[in-house]
Amino acid sequence: MNSAYVTSKGQLVVPSRIRRLFGIKPGTRINFVEEGDRIIFQPVTREYIRSFRGRFKQKSGEKSVVQEHLEERRAERDKENR
């Protein structure tokens, strides 16, 4: 287990082994995710972004979320106008 200390300015130094392992370089954005009583430290690297490719891809015959939303709004408007 690696550990680090938070400075008086609230800064945290990530151990070099962890930085190399996860490709954390100066300027890398870090997301902090709260999960119950834990904090998950997620570096937003190219590899992390690539992991989302195709995850939200629309299957043939499916309506996009935007299309569904527009249809719902249209139906609500039609109902109000009656």
29-35/38-44 β-pairing: antiparallel
pLDDT in tens, 21-32: 988 999 999 999
Look at the alpha carbons of 27, 12, 2, 51 in this order and tell me if their dihedral is positive or negative: negative
**For position 4, which CATH number holds?**
2.10.260
pTM, two decimals, is: 0.53
- 35 domain residue, yes or no: yes
Q: How confident is the model at residue 16 (pLDDT cuts 50, 70, 90)?
A: very high
- Angle CA 48–49–53, to nearest 5: 115
Residues 56-81 have a mean pLDDT of: 85
In a domain, 49, yes or no: yes
Contact in structure between 30 and 36 (CB atoms under 8 Å)? no
The model's pLDDT over 36-60, given as tens digits with 9 standing for 90+, comes to 999 999 898 888 777 777 777 777 8
Per the structure, the complete domain to which residue 5 belongs is given by 1-55
